[in-house]
Amino acid sequence: MNQMADHYSEDALAKKYDLKLLKRILPFIGKYRFFFFTAILMITMITILELSLPYITKIAIDRYIVPGKTSFIFKNNQKNKDETERIFHGRSDQDGVMRIAEKYPDLFMVDDESVNIPFRKLGMLSGDDLAILRKKDIDGMTIMAGILLGIVILNFFLNFIQTVLMEYTGQMIMHDLRMSLYQHMQHLSMSYYTKNPVGRLVTRTTNDIQNLHEMFTSIITFVFKDLFLLIGITTVLFSINAELAVISFLALPVVLFTAYKFADIARDIFRVLRIKLAEINTRFSETIHGMQVLQLFLKEKDNYMRFKQLNRDNYLAGMQQVRLFAIFMPIIELMGSVTIALVIFYGGGHVVSKAITLGALVAFISYMKLFFRPIRDIAEKFNILQNALASAERIFQIFDNKNHIPEPIPDERHPMPEVIKELSFNDVSFSYFPGEPVLKHISFKVKKGETIAIVGPTGTGKTSLINLVIRLYDPQKGAILINDLDIQSFPVKDLRKKISLVSQDPFLFSGSLRENIASDQTLSSEEYDKILEVSNCASLVQKLPKGLDTPLSEGGTSISSGERQLISIARAISRNPDLIIFDEATSYIDSGSEELVQNAISRLMKDRTAIIIAHRLATAKKADKIYVLKDGRFIESGPHDDLMRKKGFYYKLSQMTSWTDST
């Protein structure tokens, strides 16, 4: 089929991310807005604390380490001119100060309230005298150091609480999103799963949602922090010195242009990475499921080479990301270094020319280092955002897929009859792809308690017909009726409660045998005993180490195909259905198990309407009526004996040892 050429291809995406993606994520965030607002409040406090650190350093330098310059006339100044110089002012009433001034009369100028000495001459004093003289500065520095330490400790606790809050919120959002996606996927029709490999869907519900978790915990709050830092730093810098602030931002246009180009290239790279990861998971899933065939037909090398090429494509896409960051991050670092060099050059000149203080220059350098940190953070967060949006696109593609069996609209809805008295097909046609019909003008009836068999060669549409009965698909033409009412007018859940299917290769879930037999865990032990007796499972349960509570592996690979079939019959009995469908129910079992299965099938069919997709003549000949399907049409129908007497197509089939079907 030409439609299957791109069977597993990913849907095309828009050239740019749609900001509506973020809006679609908001409902999942809204439930936890209190935690977000609390985290944002803490981030605001953290930002204020971080902004205060350089400014406190400035105060410490200008007030206690190197005070600003003042005008003073020295007594030994022969030209009797004012000289502006850094002067230390000590209080004359401070203990020991006058003694020190008297000890060094050539260094000090003394007035009524203070003793004064140039800072350049403080080095001439002894250590003990200097400590006494600068006691006030030392006390002030101790206070500043204590304040800085307190801010760091408070910052630590706020960061801890904020991180815990965001991780909890991110985990809960991820939990809700995964459950919502899982619920949605359970209601998609089978046609969706025939076009999407398991590995791709597993990637969507695991890796892609995990990427969104990174966005919830890293981006939303840290963007606030980075923006607050940038705005706060800009404000503080202009308040200290507007001219130097303008010079500091000269490199900003280059940074913004680089970030823009980075975003444009990174978007496409992350899209490719998401696709390649899904393809790797798909290939790996297929390899695990098909390992027996791979080893049997010696295809390990060919499969390895295909996986090797796929893995290399993923590696090349990953290296594109690495190269992009290897260029982008050093550019940001370079611009930061250039900016700090400009600040030192121009700021140093301003310090020499007495336009700004040394503390202001140190604060400027500290703030510029802080300024480029959020820019780097935003770039890294943008990396996460691009990755998350690439994942969000794929996730919401699944949410947007409405390929599910439609429920009846309220005005056309009918309650499901308590008893299925008649099932009928009225001129039904069906195709998986336009122009390639699988079933053509199918009509038949089966009444309560009757059994019909549908036989035919491989690929004639027998299993497709069964899929229409249980509404895994809907026909394009005609109608399927139950008690003269279209099955599309019944709620899907109510319809399927009345029907049980025993397939040729029953699937068992990982879990206990009890859980695989009945989803209704309220059944009594007497009811379980009856189900096991009718289905011939009693002996199987007795030999299992934990009986009904024995855990089964996925697919039931730990037991034989015949035992799996008996369990599927027990599962069908537990539903007490009106209509039972057998799709090649004995095709995969050995002759030793066939008698047990046939006996269980006979008990299950008693007083029930049954449709049998016949694989062996012994099964079909017991039906009240047999329909022969060929090329999507019924070409013969009637009881076994009548069809044999006609010596038509059914008679030819009867000459074969077995018939198979995979449609």
Residues 6+ apart with CB under 8 A from 536: 566, 569, 596, 597, 599, 600
312 and 383 together in one domain: yes
CATH number at residue 45: 1.20.1560.10
CA distances to 22, 483, 499, 539 from 466, in Å: 42, 18, 11, 31
Residues 355-378 have a mean pLDDT of 78
458 and 317 together in one domain: no
CATH number at residue 485: 3.40.50.300
Domain boundary (354, 372, 400) is at 400
Reply yes or no on whether the pLDDT at 480 is more than 90. Answer: yes
Per-residue pLDDT band at 3 (split at 50, 70, 90): very low
Domain boundary (400, 427, 448) is at 400
The pLDDT value given to residue 555:
65
Residue 181 corresponds to which tokens in the numbers above?
Answer: 């996606």
263 and 295 together in one domain: yes
299 and 419 together in one domain: no
Residue 90 corresponds to which tokens in the numbers above?
Answer: 């000590």
CA distance between the termini of the chain: 14
Residues 501-517 have a mean pLDDT of 80
Residue 520 lies in a domain: no
Kindly report the backbone phi and psi dihedral angles of residue 276, in degrees, each rounded to the nearest multiple of 5, phi listed first: -65, -40
298 and 446 together in one domain: no
341 and 421 together in one domain: no
Reply yes or no on whether the pLDDT at 545 is more than 90. Answer: no
Residue 620 lies in a domain: yes
Residue 84 lies in a domain: no
480 and 348 together in one domain: no
DSSP single-letter state for residue 189: -
Residue 506 lies in a domain: no
The C-alpha angle with vertex 369 and arms to 217 and 45, in degrees rounded to 5, equals 45
Beta bridge partners of 116: 89, 109
C-beta of residue 177 within 8 angstroms of C-beta of residue 215? no
Checking DSSP bridges between strand 70-72 and strand 83-85, what pairing results, if any?
Answer: antiparallel
Residue 465 lies in a domain: yes
Domain boundary (373, 400, 427) is at 400
420 and 483 together in one domain: yes
Residues 6+ apart with CB under 8 A from 114: 89, 90, 91, 92
DSSP single-letter state for residue 205: I
The pLDDT value given to residue 72:
45
Residue 335 corresponds to which tokens in the numbers above?
Answer: 């611009």
353-362, pLDDT tens digit by residue? Answer: 667 777 888 8
Residue 462 lies in a domain: yes
pTM comes to 0.67
Reply yes or no on whether the pLDDT at 547 is more than 60. Answer: yes
Residue 356 lies in a domain: yes
Reply yes or no on whether the pLDDT at 518 is more than 90. Answer: no
CA 606 to chain centre: 48
118-155, pLDDT tens digit by residue? Answer: 777 777 888 777 777 777 778 888 888 899 999 999 99
251 and 148 together in one domain: yes
Reply yes or no on whether the pLDDT at 45 is more than 80. Answer: yes
Reply yes or no on whether the pLDDT at 485 is more than 90. Answer: yes
241 and 295 together in one domain: yes
Domain that holds residue 360: 2-64+140-400
330 and 444 together in one domain: no
445 and 337 together in one domain: no
Residue type at 534? V
Q: How many domains does the chain have?
A: 2
The pLDDT value given to residue 588:
55
179-221, pLDDT tens digit by residue? Answer: 988 888 888 887 788 777 777 788 888 888 888 877 777 776 6
Residue 184: CB atoms within 10 Å: 15
C-beta of residue 620 within 8 angstroms of C-beta of residue 453? yes
